Amino acid sequence: MSSKCGEKPISKSIIRRALMKGHIPFSVDVDRIDEYKSYVHVPIGSKVSIRGIIVYYPEKRKVFLRPFLSNPYISIQLLNISLELAQELHGGQVEIEGIKDPHGLKVLRINRVKIVSKPPPISFKYVLDTLLNGIDVKGPKELSLLALISSPRTSLFRLGGIHIVLFGRNRSVFDKRLRSNTIAIPRIWRYGKTDLGMYTSSKRYLSIAKRSKETYAEISLNIDSRNRVDQVIEAPIDYPVIIEAQSQEIAPDFDIIDYSLYVKALIPKEPPDLERVMVNLSNSLRLWIEKEGLLRGIIGNGKFIDLNYYGKPASILRIALAIARTRWCEELEENHIIEAYNLLKKALETFLQLFSVSPRRILTLTQLETVILKTVERLETQYRDGVPYSVLLNELRARNIESIREIERALAILRSKGLIYMPKQNHFKVVSA
């Protein structure tokens, strides 16, 4: 529901002021208005039950409950709650049973619940058709909007969100459409932005990753004419989005903002064999790389194609979780993972066509790196999930290679050069030339 023709366009500032005044313009929160009113009107000392989102402020060592997804200005301080538990529950949906206190709510019991049980009133197709009107996407259209849908934090990484990079003419128009059609959920989710130079700085990236543990941060890496396309191989983004946009801006659409809040309230259940899923994704990507003959310069730890379980396999997992949200599925299914893998592969193939100069291939190895590489290659047929670190150490010690520090440094260099990868933690496999 956007503003009508002839009226002053709705702006984000108008929406923000409406929220601050206590107005709830989004249907996602309508069902909880009466529940919150009941909490407000019961006398101090009464036993009460209320649902919402847990928000933990580590710098203040305080915990709050937000009854509404769309309104961060209304919150209830929670008393008598363990800070360790609050950190674990941060961003989670709960029902609090407690005693109303002049300073907040004394917690008696916490139950995990779903505060949004019904699907959004509009479909993902409506979001696609509206936001991509006048936008030509090179590659999978669905991927271009998944940063808006986002991904919850995963159990393996405690890191959520989808990080994209935008290319193309008038990309700022598309970026503005994304920004104007969602609202931040402070401390939980935001659509953020940084430049490529800051993102590829290891210190800056670690800061972004740390912050993402508390906020499902989306980072749009807008690359302008001063940056070369092949700089992206040094950025551990999830995927690129290549577009051409007409210079046509659109007003914020209430239905789309409402939709984005609905889907962020859905946390699809992960498969019980998630570690096995990550191993399979790592191996599938390796086979694709070997078949396509991709050069080493774009493969490696922290690079454009990172085969380690925390690299592109984790990207696929986050994309799959976002896809599950668009289908309003309460469980992450195999077909979501397969679809995410195929979409990501297509996006990478489209992007690689932009290279005007092939990335540099790195071949120089030290003697220790060569020994480790050949040892992993010799042993990996015996271990489906990769050669365990302990087995590799024993093999190297048998060759009088004892320095753990040197071995770990060599392993890190081999991963950065894209010669080996970890399909699961502390297990190693070789990427064939």
In angstroms, the Cα distances linking 240 to 99, 101, 329 are 50, 50, 26
pLDDT surpasses 60 at 300: yes
In angstroms, the Cα distances linking 2 to 7, 124, 144, 258, 263 are 10, 17, 21, 12, 20
Over residues 360-379, the pLDDT tens digits come to 444 567 888 888 988 998 89
Average pLDDT for residues 312-340, to the nearest whole number?
A: 94
Joined together, the tokens standing for residue 132 give 């991509």
Over residues 78-108, the pLDDT tens digits come to 999 999 999 888 888 999 999 999 999 999 9
Across the chain, what does the average pLDDT equal?
A: 82
| Burial tier of 403 (Cβ tally within 10 Å: 0-12, 13-18, 19+) | exposed
Work out the pLDDT band at 392, boundaries 50, 70, 90: very high
pLDDT surpasses 90 at 122: yes
The strand pair at 239-245 and 135-138 is best described as antiparallel
Diameter of the chain by CA atoms?
80
Spatial strand order of the sheet with 427-430 comes to: 387-388, 427-430, 420-424
- pLDDT of the residue at 11: 67
- pLDDT of the residue at 185: 83
Angle between helices 389-397 and 367-379 (to 10 degrees): 120
With H, G, I as helix, E, B as strand and everything else as coil, classify residue 145. Answer: coil
Over residues 235-280, the pLDDT tens digits come to 667 888 888 888 777 888 889 999 999 999 999 999 998 888 999 9
- pLDDT of the residue at 95: 96
Over residues 188-213, the pLDDT tens digits come to 887 776 555 555 555 554 454 454 44
> Exposure string (b/e) for 304-324, b if CB count within 10 Å is 16 or more?
bbbbbbbbbbbbbbbbbbbbb
- pLDDT of the residue at 328: 95
Joined together, the tokens standing for residue 293 give 């003959």
- 1-15, 135-149, 164-178: least confident range: 1-15
With H, G, I as helix, E, B as strand and everything else as coil, classify residue 363. Answer: coil
Distance of CA 404 to the CA centre of its chain: 33
Dihedral angle computed from the Cα positions of residues 26, 23, 264 and 141, in that order, rounded to the nearest 10 degrees: 50
> What structural domains does the chain harbor?
12-112 (2.40.50.140), 124-352 (3.40.50.300), 367-430 (1.10.10)
pLDDT surpasses 70 at 233: no
Work out the pLDDT band at 381, boundaries 50, 70, 90: confident
- Would the pTM count as exceeding 0.85? no
Q: How far apart are CA 293 and CA 432, in angstroms?
A: 9
Average pLDDT for residues 149-166, to the nearest whole number?
A: 81
pLDDT surpasses 60 at 281: yes
pLDDT surpasses 90 at 309: no
Highest-confidence segment of 92-101, 170-179, 216-225:
92-101
Work out the pLDDT band at 24, boundaries 50, 70, 90: low
Are 132 and 168 in contact by the 8 Å Cβ rule? The answer is no
pLDDT surpasses 70 at 382: yes
Highest-confidence segment of 4-13, 35-44, 210-219:
35-44
Bridge-partner residues for 99, per DSSP?
A: 47, 106
The strand pair at 216-222 and 164-167 is best described as parallel
| Burial tier of 171 (Cβ tally within 10 Å: 0-12, 13-18, 19+) | buried
Percent of the chain surpassing pLDDT 90: 33
pLDDT surpasses 80 at 230: no
